[in-house]
Amino acid sequence: VNTFPGKMQVKINGRKLNPGVDFIVNQASVGKTVSANLVQEDSVTFVAASSRIVVSLQEKLTWSVSQKVADYTEIILKKEDYIKNPPNQIEVDIENIFVDDFRAHNVSAIVKGTNKPDSVILITAHYDHLGGMGKETYFPGANDNASGVSFLLSLAKYYAQNPQKYSIAFICFGAEEAGILGSKYFTENPQIPLTNIRFMFNVDMVGTGETGATVVNASLHKKEFEWLNQINDTEKLLVKINPRGKAANSDHYFFTEKGVPAFFLYTQGGITAYHDVFDKAETLPFTVYENLFKLFVGFNKQLMN
């Protein structure tokens, strides 16, 4: 994994920029210390070819994780800040460290079923986020995915106090942001037989909900999605539950590939912060948090009927 634990200083046209707010570094970038003039290639791209530096203008600063290191350094700026004064000069002092054996961990627990303990309902959420970009800038990941972890823990507390007919298992996955690697590892080294999993429900970004929620894999499991909607319509919990097809966008994916029936649910509306420094706990409205809890409990009861 490419990391940036040290210096993270950038000046554009002589002005010092604030990491995460004014710029991000491309996650695959190599660190370097250099001052150079920029040449405009197109409306959103500026380069200093001899210094192997690229400056890109984008609508939003959205960071990620890279499993490789490029042979150049890319600085990404907010397009709106440079409409009148394009970047023509850059100073960079950035340090990167590539960790070729980065260790991550999955955390799991189970509440044994009272009647059919070998039948398992699995609830999952990834607990990792993007970490830091330099010594003083970090990406909190409140919605993505502290919200999902807190929701999972609420369900774990409930089911620990109220054991069910089936076993209810919980997994907090690591390394989701690096390529959904924690869940991939589990499917290749399962602690419980994958064939014992009656259904998997993955939660990722559930801190909003003003406009409802979306369920990935709804088109694969139409009967179970209909159950969700029936519960929702009867109890009037969410504004709407939107169906979505198969997608490799969270920890449900490799379970689906192994034949495990699975949903991935995320809420919608409210904040727009995503993979940036503004995804903070104080911004989350938790609009449907309690109702979503009721939806999950009702759905799990239906699975055990």
Q: Which two tokens stand for residue 212?
A: 């409802």
> Around Cβ 9, how many Cβ atoms within 10 Å?
14
For residues 130 and 55, state if they share a domain: no
Helix (H, G, I), strand (E, B) or coil at 244: strand
For residues 67 and 117, state if they share a domain: no
CATH of the domain at 272: 3.40.630.10
Residue ending a domain, choose from 98, 133, 150: 98
Provide the 8-state DSSP code for 133. Answer: B
Instruction: Annotate 279-291 with three-state secondary structure.
Output: CCHHHCCCCCHHH
pTM for this structure?
0.95
Residue ending a domain, choose from 37, 69, 98: 98
How many distinct structural domains can be found in the chain?
2
pLDDT tens-digit series, residues 244-288: 999 999 999 999 999 999 999 999 998 999 999 999 999 999 999
- Positions of E strands within the chain: 2-3, 8-12, 15-16, 23-25, 32-37, 39-42, 45-48, 53-58, 73-78, 89-94, 97-98, 107-111, 116-126, 131-132, 138-139, 166-173, 197-203, 212-216, 241-244, 262-268
For residues 142 and 270, state if they share a domain: yes
What was the pLDDT predicted at 216?
A: 99
For residues 94 and 220, state if they share a domain: no
Q: How confident is the model at residue 107 (pLDDT cuts 50, 70, 90)?
A: very high
What was the pLDDT predicted at 192?
A: 96
Helix (H, G, I), strand (E, B) or coil at 110: strand
For residues 161 and 266, state if they share a domain: yes
pLDDT tens-digit series, residues 119-156: 999 999 999 999 999 999 999 999 999 999 999 999 99
Q: Give the range of the structural domain holding residue 171, as residue numbers without chain letter.
A: 107-303
Half-sphere exposure of 207 (CA within 13 A, CB side): 22
Pick from 209, 222, 223: nearest CA to 293: 209
Calpha distance 291→278 (Å, rounded): 26
Q: How confident is the model at residue 204 (pLDDT cuts 50, 70, 90)?
A: very high
For residues 45 and 185, state if they share a domain: no
For residues 167 and 78, state if they share a domain: no
When pLDDT is averaged across residues 179-186 and rounded to a whole number, the result is 98
For residues 114 and 178, state if they share a domain: yes
Average pLDDT of every residue of the chain = 98
For residues 45 and 165, state if they share a domain: no
Residue ending a domain, choose from 68, 98, 128: 98
Pick from 186, 169, 85, 179: nearest CA to 119: 169
What was the pLDDT predicted at 73?
A: 99
What was the pLDDT predicted at 180?
A: 98
For residues 271 and 172, state if they share a domain: yes
- What share of the chain in percent tops pLDDT 90? 99
Q: Which amino acid is residue 243, in one-letter code?
A: P
For residues 165 and 220, state if they share a domain: yes
What was the pLDDT predicted at 82?
A: 97
When pLDDT is averaged across residues 72-77 and rounded to a whole number, the result is 99
> Are 53 and 31 within 8 A, CB to CB?
no
What was the pLDDT predicted at 170?
A: 99
For residues 197 and 272, state if they share a domain: yes
